Structure 1
Amino acid sequence: MKNLKVLIGLVVVAVAVVGGVLLWRSRSKTSDSTALTQVVAVTRGNLTATVSPTGQVGSQEQVVLGLDVSRLPVTEVLVASGQRVKKGDVLVKIDPSSLERAVEQAKANLLSAEEALVSAKEPYTALDLQKARLDVAQAEVALTQAGQQTVADVIGEAKRTLEDARAQLAALQNDATVADQIDRLQWQANMAEVEHGKMLEGPITTEEGRDREVLAYNRMMDAKDAFDSARARAALNLLNAQDRVREAEQSLAALKAGGSELATKEVQNKMAQAEYNLARAQNTLKTMEAGADAKTVQLAQARCDSAKAALEQAQATLESATMVAPFDGTVTSVGVAVGDLVSSGTRVVTLADLSKLEVVATVDETEINQVKVGQSASITFDALSGAKFTGKVVEVPLAGQLVQNVVSYDVVLSLEGSGGESLLPGMTANVTIVVGQRQNALLLPALAIAQDDSGDVVTLEGSNETVPVQVGLSNGTYVEVVRGLNEGDKVLVAYTASSNNGQFFFRGGGMGGTVIGGSGRRGQ
């Protein structure tokens, strides 16, 4: 009944405005503009405010699948756009050869790192400790002996060193074994050269003959290298033995010529060397007994952990070489073909669950503050004429997006009532969101509201003074009066009618509104 009253009020306003137009046109054919007024009453009724953006169908569960690889070829594409798949179904395969090699290399690196960690935690064996203790004992004995050595002992040791050097030189000079070996190697080199020379005497016309000639040449060169190496090694050994004899002779001669002073310095030098050797052996033993170094273990552990992570990454990448569906759904697009090189940024397959659809509506920044989670909406689609669906606002973003200097917000709505309809992602949706409702509210045509310095005002019938009012919800045609008026109050709506090329415009003072041909709409 209240809605009927509101409708009757709208009809009265429209009739009055049209009547004013006809009256003005009949009385003034030459004037360009005429001031008109209309009296409207404050009534009660129900008011619903809506926001009507457009949007697109989307899936609540949709994913763009890719491969974390670098330029690897696709070997198999097992799905096509529109195909339904189950979770775990194979979608695409790529060549795994390089990924398999990477896994093997990662395993080898991990094994090496684990061995290094074990060595860092247990750097010395029981045998190492035993040898270190023996080195300390020997160094202590050597130091004691050095402390007991006299000048005569030094000279005697120098004589013995000379005797040993001369004996080694004599042994080399008289060793027939070395000479026999050199003679044998020389004979083998000569024979190999003769064999190769015979092959070169006649023409070589076959591939087999050329192969035999190459083998003979290689044998000749190997024999010559062996002969030259043995002769050079024998000469070097003899030269070193002669140098040791000469050095021993010079050392003994220097001791004899220098007397006790030089011999004393030699004793002191040996004493210092023995002390140094003992200190070094003791330090080595101390380090071994202290066990593993904490920093070394920490570094080895870090390298081992890094190698484990690298192996896990390599194995994961290898597993991803076979792309499988993460959930039941429909393939909405395939972005590769067999032979294509894919990398980590390639969009390979797009998969969506079309049983869980939603609508993403683009709401202008001037209306976004009216939209709240939980508000109801009605939804229609250009592709489904006559079909009407319902939904609710499920997500209102805090950040908008700027496109061509216009800020908008992508509001997500549920889609209810969809059954066997052929809804597909990307279809255009026409959305009407109910952003506010008032029951039995005081209503006034929006054109009756004007603005001055104090805010929203109206002009009462029979008075030229304006009355401030507080307005609330508006649907563009009617506005809710919260404070300042009572039901039945009469308000003036002032119009200015003007003609332009035969078309008449009526500008009312309310809400910045404009009336064209008698129908009210909000001005821009």
Structure 2
Amino acid sequence: MATSTAPQDLLTPDAPPTAGSEPLEAPKRRNPLVFVILAVVLIAGAILGWTRYQFSQAHESTDDAQVEGDVYPILPRVAGPVTAVKVEDNQTVKKGDVLVTIDPADYQQRVNAAQAALLAAQAQVTAARAQVAAMQAQVNTARTNIGMSDANRAKLQKDLKRSTFLRKADIIPQSDFDAVQANLQSTSAMRSTAEDQVKVAQQQALASQQQVAVAQAVVKQRQADLDNTKLQLSYTTLVAPGNGYVSKKNVQPGQVVSPGQQLMGIVSSNKTWVIANFKETQLENMKVGQPVKVEVDAYPSETFQGHIESLSAATGARFALLPPDNASGNFVKVTQRVPVKIVLNQEDPQHPLRAGMSVNAIVQVK
């Protein structure tokens, strides 16, 4: 019975290779340092991811934020040609510094005219008071005449009694008796006339007092006109309403300006703050007073510490020129943003914040 013989390489695996055959390569061993590095990377990634997760659970952030500050518009209240511009763009100014002057000649002329009208009105008051004094003197004179008439009448009445007795005794002639009667009647008429003069003089005095009141009212009106013209004259000098920096200067000497025309702006240097527009879904745990870290694009290596001062009572869309009307029928739900005011705990003079700078606000809500 024939038996098959096994191949030589299977029967003798350890036999040396025959001539002309290729040697077998030994398997390569992996470097254990690769596994160590891979493990370190995985662990570091896991730690970083967990840290980021924990951070996101305790903080809310947004880059839809910018620095805000007070900007004072410089608007003239009177019209006229500009005679001088005292400042330049980006110049630092203090409250009360003169910025622009408008030609005051027309307004000074109005002040002079108002002063002259006031003096004339005051003279009218003086004349009216003098008229009152004159009328009062006439009243006193008329009352004096009444007193003199009463005295003469009393004397003539006594004379009439004596003359009546003497005439009955036929001691005096009838002509003397008639003369006494005539004098008594004349005195009575004079007294009546004096009483009428008192009434007329009193009415004239009352009218003069009313003229004084009218003249005093005119004086007040002229004084108001003078004050108004002085106020208009003061408007020809435009001063800085606060400390800050000149911005957007748009006026030159010789230019004719009109009331309400913006000539420049003053950006206040007293205080700045941040307005961060957070999504409405980020406001659940956000409260006033929570600490905030502010990162400013202009200073990438600096961070600023602040806190929430207030939250807006309405979303930003409510203040838009054309606010959305969800009752129109075409409704698409859009996540709204709510402005949040953030103030810095401390100003950094070395890194001043300018209004309009972009920032990233991170609020610690837990």
Q: Deviations over 1:435-455 (max 9, x none)?
A: x31xxxxxxxxxxxxxxxxxx
Q: Which residue of 1 aligns with 2:222?
A: 307
- Give the Å deviation of 1:77: 1.5
The corresponding residue for 2:203 is 287
2: distance between equivalents of 1:382 and 1:279?
A: 97
Contact 1:402 1:408 in 2 (8 A): no
Flag the 1:68–1:133 CA change in 2: closer, same or farther, 3 A. same
Correspondence 1:84-103 to 2 at 5 A:
84-103=92-111
Change (3 A) 1:78 1:290: closer
After superposition, the C-alpha distances for 1:314-354 in whole angstroms (9 at most, x for unaligned) are 22332332223344432122132223222331222322343
Amino acid at match of 2:75: G
CA distance change for structure 1 residues 340 and 371 in 2, over 3 Å: closer, same or farther?
A: farther
Asked if 1:405 corresponds to 2:348, the answer is no
CA contact (8 A) 1:94 1:321 kept: yes
Inter-CA distance 373–309: structure 2 relative to 1 (3 Å threshold) = farther
Match of 1:385 in 2: 300
2:136 to 129, 136, 155: 129
Deviations along 1:279-327, one digit per CA (max 9) or x if unpaired, are 9855431224558757973x65554444334323322332332223344
CA distance in 2: counterparts of 1:391 and 1:87, whole angstroms: 28
Q: Distance in 2 between matches of 1:391 and 1:292?
A: 73
Instruction: Give the equivalent residue in structure 1 for 2:73.
Output: 64
Mark the runs of 5 or more structure 2 residues left unpaired by the alignment: 1-42, 146-192, 325-335
Task: Spell out the pairing of 1:421-432 with structure 2 (5 A cutoff).
Answer: 421=351, 423-432=353-362
SS of the equivalent of 1:124 reads helix
The Cα offsets for residues 110-136 of structure 1, whole Å up to 9 and x where unpaired, read as 33444445566x363433334467689
Which residue of 259, 262, 266 corresponds with 1:351? 266
2:114 corresponding residue in structure 1: 106
Amino acid in structure 1 at the alignment position of 2:342: L
**Offset at 1:96?**
0.8
- TM-score normalized by structure 1? 0.41
The residue that corresponds to 2:150 in the other structure is none
CA contact (8 A) 2:243 2:270 kept: no
Pairwise CA distance, 1:100: 0.7
2:290 counterpart (375, 382, 392): 375
Give the match for residue 213 of structure 1.
Answer: none
Report 1:257-272 matches (<5 A). none
* Residues 105-504 of structure 1 mapped to structure 2, 5 A cutoff: 105-118=113-126, 122=129, 124-131=131-138, 281-290=197-206, 293=209, 297=213, 301-354=216-269, 356-363=271-278, 371-398=286-313, 401-403=318-320, 404-405=322-323, 410-415=339-344, 416=346, 418-421=348-351, 423-434=353-364, 436-437=365-366
Distance verdict in 2 for CA 1:433–1:9, change over 3 Å? closer
Could you say what the CA RMSD is over the residues aligned between the two structures, in angstroms?
4.4
**Is contact 1:391-1:413 (8 Å) kept?**
yes
Alpha-carbon contact 2:307-2:343 (below 8 Å) kept? yes
Secondary structure, aligned partner of 2:58:
strand
CA distance in 2, matches of 1:79, 1:45: 49
Partner of 2:171: none
Aligned to 1:78: 86
Q: 1:57 to 1:292 in 2, by over 3 A?
A: farther
State the AA in 1 paired with 2:323.
Answer: N
356 and 340 in structure 1: CA distance in 2 versus 1, 3 angstrom threshold:
same
Deviations 1:169-190 (A, max 9, x none): xxxxxxxxxxxxxxxxxxxxxx
Matched-pair contact (CA < 8 Å) for 2:60–2:282: no
2:131 aligns to what SS in structure 1? coil
Query: Which amino acid is 2:343 matched to?
Result: S
| 8 Å contact kept, 1:390–1:417 | no
SS in 2 for 1:102: helix
Q: Is the 2:65–2:276 Cα contact (8 Å) retained in structure 1?
A: yes
Question: 2:203 is matched by which residue type in structure 1?
Answer: T
> Secondary structure, in 3 states, of the residue corresponding to 2:362?
strand
Amino acid paired to 2:201: L
Kindly state the Cα deviation for residue 95 of structure 1 after the two structures are TM-superposed. 0.9
